[in-house]
Structure 1
């Protein structure tokens, strides 16, 4: 699990002590959560978490190491997650994306249905 978190933390901008993130991920060890990994030369360079806890397939933590982008890794992981979702009878999937990633997901067939902004407040 540590390797999985390490693989998505950097690309998703998660910094600091990742032990709490690893602990949280371990808490999501349910049968309706599937984690997919893109591995190149024995190194995990991409991730995608699929949750099938509702009628809608939810994709999370889709990330690719910056040194391995533009090779189809995120596309392959997303398509595999959608294949699994379809095998379980789901016809709707959701995910959140950066503006850069939105191009990848639009090509797959996702549509933008909403936008949000994140704000950081001073400590």
Structure 2
């Protein structure tokens, strides 16, 4: 069993959520969570900078829940892939749900899944 610091309603919509996440990780939460950086927080760069910044600071893995459809979800995934590469987080990231994979063309799905394999990104979906 792992405990995740998870911002169910987003990181940026309410003041103090990043600080609560930081406290949770300092108190023993093992995983940094993120959720729908575009649709919930409407600032995917800031959302992901916070998530990956916390992961780097606490040496924790990341699990981002993506319900964003189609190309919007692909945009979020591409931002995530950039950070995985830049921070050397190969094998430390999980994408949960990843709805975008079921709503884009085969070539895009193939590109993303090949990048997931290259970076050892796990997927969890229902």
Tell me the TM-score normalized by structure 2: 0.41
**Which has more strand, going by share of residues?**
1
Tell me the TM-score normalized by structure 1: 0.41
Q: Which has the larger radius of gyration?
A: 1
**Which has more helix, going by share of residues?**
2
